[in-house]
Amino acid sequence: MSKIITLGIDGHGIAELCWDDPDRKVNVFSTDATEEWVGLVDQVASDPSVRGVLITSGKASFHAGADLRMVGGFFDMSAEDLWSVMAPVKDSLYRLETCGKPVAAAINGHCLGGGFEMALAAHARFAVDDPAIKLGLPEAGLGLMPGFGGTQRLARLAPWQRVTADMVQGVTYEVSEARSLGLLTDVVPAGALRDAARRWLLDNPAAEQPWMARGYRGPSAREIERYFHALNAGLTRDGVIDRPEQRLIAEAIYHGLQMPIEPALRLEVRRFIELTRNPSVRQALQERFFGEAA
């Protein structure tokens, strides 16, 4: 029944979830795509014949994140209704990374926002060696914040001070930078992308996220405190009062890093919903993207 994401399972039990929205130039988490995604994750996670999951794109880019029209609609929804939109995505990404099967993303082009968050829930990310490709979480630059776990997974995967600063400012990365931050398993020529990711899946049947591994330790409370003292002062100096998304991103990371991933993911969704309760955020978004006055 899927139209936006197709599922194919090969003879080795590798399930490929290929994003290729027939009605759009780029892949986005629209309402329909989100529903398909949640259903397909459930399917590949529970199907015993599936031994690994490969996320690919049929477009020139990998994934552009959340559909901004859908996000615009979030401002009209009750907190309860918005929770019921966000929570299934949160749960599906958590299920994917904890289902006991390796998951890899084959990043052939731009991988941004919710698309990057989806890739962060994979155990491995392979990207094409192309300096034009951008990866990361630009939400803050749009007055928004990540809501599909990006603040929590990125801060656990890469040097957390550096990526916290980047998330707060909405900075994205080129492939080489993403690789040096430890965000990419490997960088390969375009023609070798799919095979590299597939081979990794077959070679790593017991993949788990580093932050779920026994003995994983996040940064100490003291390190976190020191960093955030300076971040708070700097953001205040630079006018964070008019940038609620910056404060909420910082808050989600500050607290999220001090707890396991499960409550941290809920915490991020709550901060995201909080952001959409803010009329000034709504107005800025409408003016910027839809040319509408609120």
Compute CA distances 1 → 5, 29, 219, whole Å. 10, 17, 44
Residue 117: active-site member? yes
Of the two residues 173 and 228, which places its CB atom closer to other proteins in the complex? 228
Binding residues for other proteins restricted to 210-239, rule: CB under 8 A: 221, 225
H helix count then E strand count, the chain: 12, 9
CB 222, min distance to other proteins, A = 8
Let me know: does 43 contact 4? Beta carbons within 8 Å: no
| Residue bearing tokens 């708070």 | 232
Gap between the Cα atoms of 202 and 16, Å rounded = 13
Locate 209 and state its tokens. 């996220």
The residues pairing with 187 across neighbouring beta strands, listed in sequence order, are 127
**Distance of alpha carbon 65 from the chain centroid:** 8
CB 41, min distance to other proteins, A = 21
Active site residue: 97, 139, 245, 251, which one? Answer: 139
Binding residues for other proteins restricted to 56-95, rule: CB under 8 A: 79-80, 83
Q: Does 273 bind other proteins (CB under 8 A)?
A: yes
Of the two residues 65 and 244, which places its CB atom closer to other proteins in the complex? 244
CB 122, min distance to other proteins, A = 21
CB 101, min distance to other proteins, A = 21
Residue selected from 24, 95, 199, 277 as contacting other proteins according to rule CB under 8 A: 277
Positions of E strands within the chain: 5-9, 14-19, 52-57, 103-107, 111-112, 124-128, 134-136, 172-174, 186-188
Binding residues for other proteins restricted to 111-170, rule: CB under 8 A: none
- Angle (CA) 69-166-93 rounded to 5° is 55
CB 213, min distance to other proteins, A = 14
Q: Does 24 bind other proteins (CB under 8 A)?
A: no
Residue selected from 76, 203, 223, 262 as contacting other proteins according to rule CB under 8 A: 262
Residue selected from 162, 263, 290, 292 as contacting other proteins according to rule CB under 8 A: 263
Gap between the Cα atoms of 183 and 17, Å rounded = 21
Q: Which residues are catalytic?
A: 117, 139
Q: Given the rule CB under 8 A, which residues bind other proteins?
A: 79-80, 83, 221, 225, 255, 258-260, 262-264, 266-267, 270, 273-274, 277
